[in-house]
Amino acid sequence: MRYGNTPFLLWPFAAIWNFIGLILRLTGRLVAAILGLVLIIAGAALCITIIGTVIGIPLIAFGFAMMIRGFF
């Protein structure tokens, strides 16, 4: 199955990328890059605890994707 031009199995990644693009359009590139850095720091702080790792790793990935999207 295909959803638009994106294969069905890759649709969640495309949805996250489009969501980051929406945040970028609403806030601007610099604010999105700074927000991505803050999310990376918050995710790293959560990774110090074992239980917080479940939330921290996706938070780091989301922050990294937001920074990449903000720079390019």
pTM of the model: 0.68
Residue 40 confidence (pLDDT)? 95
The amino acid sitting at 25 is R
Band the pLDDT of 2: cuts 50, 70, 90: very low
Say what the alpha-carbon torsion angle 69, 59, 33, 24 is, to the nearest 10 degrees: 50
pLDDT in tens, 5-64: 777 778 888 888 888 888 778 878 888 888 899 999 999 999 998 888 899 999 999 999
The yes-or-no verdict on residue 3 having pLDDT over 70 is no
Q: Which long-range contacts (CB under 8 A, 24 or more apart) does 59-63 make?
A: 62/16, 62/20, 62/36, 63/35, 63/36, 63/37, 63/38, 63/39
Residue length of the chain: 72
